[in-house]
Amino acid sequence: MDIRLLDSNDIDEAKALWKSAFGDSDAFVDAYFENKISEGSSLGMFDNGLSCVVHMLPYKIRVQGRTLASAFIAGAATAENQRNGGYMRTMLHESLKLMKERGIIMTHLYPFKHSFYEQFGWATYTYVNKSAVTIGKKANVIETRDISLLDALYQNMMKDYDGYVVRGEKEWEWRLSELFCDGGKAAVLFEEDVPVAYMLYFAENNKAEVIEAVFENEGQGRRLAQHLALTNSEVRYNSPSQDVAEAPHGMARVVNAMGLLEEFGATDMLSATRVVDAFAQWNNMGSGKQSMDVRELAKIVHRGASETDIKEKVRKSQYNIINEKFIARDTCIFEEY
């Protein structure tokens, strides 16, 4: 087995593996690789050809009110005839090592299966409420490709959230190239001539699947969905939820625990707490009597410590320290690939 970064000569194989694993169209895969996959950002395992790959996208994520560099894992796949051999476990470990060497302290992803990544130290930090609209109602809605219009609405919504992708022109071009290359649309709702909500969606078989719904309040989102239901029998969309009983969505992982704690001035917690990481052993540190699994640390970084944890007397001193640095925040992320 040979594990190395992909170069330009490997792109055709990488595209073929992506298509085999995820079933996306040629147009989508071509646009994705042209815009998002750059040399040095993808790790591959070779055994008589490309057997396994992990792409690491250079996103910036909002974390506790500041912007951190993240390597967003996407398109992690193993060739069908080589699955269940532990290849992805090895690749994820090698990817984390590479991220640490490059100064990344946290990584994010949207999983095909949350439990798969939990065993390797990832934790769910965003949740969504799934909604469906089947009855149409006309509203003042336009279709657009205007990045500035969409971005203003995105920024307005995200100002109250943590854990989202900080988008500039490049990130918007990425997002919309994936949408439009496969026939997707962007719809904007106006109320009293003011844009208040948008949805990025695909319509197929008379149903609309919304991949991103941005609005100030739930009523605006529903009104936009109802308008789309005029031409679709069903419109499905997600909205951010802080209820952990809702559908799990985005996941986060600590790549470098010491680097993270230093970034936020929280190394004092190590006097009361031991960080435990069974997968990335370099994160095992601290001298305290209480232990904290690396997954719990990732959740606390984005969402703060839960009231239940703080109230538990046996752990009160532990949470008093870290809760000063990682306050409770609402979380949201839309990116999946």
Q: Which residues make Cβ contacts (< 8 Å) with residue 200, sequence separation at least 6?
A: 175, 176, 179, 184, 185, 186, 210, 211, 212
- Please indicate, yes or no, if residue 247 is contained in any of the structural domains: no
pLDDT in tens, 248-287: 999 999 999 999 999 999 998 888 889 999 999 999 999 8
What does the pLDDT read at residue 134?
A: 98
C-alpha torsion angle, residues 275, 279, 282, 287 (rounded to 10)? 20
CATH code of 6's domain? 3.40.630.30
> Domain end: 54, 89, 104, which one?
104
Range of 165's domain? 128-241
pLDDT in tens, 10-21: 999 999 999 999
- Please indicate, yes or no, if residue 143 is contained in any of the structural domains: yes
Together in a domain, 17 and 85: yes
| Distance in angstroms (rounded) separating the CA atoms of residues 176 and 151 | 12
| Distance in angstroms (rounded) separating the CA atoms of residues 31 and 178 | 6
- Please indicate, yes or no, if residue 134 is contained in any of the structural domains: yes
What does the pLDDT read at residue 179?
A: 95
Is the entire prediction scored with pTM above 0.85? Answer: yes
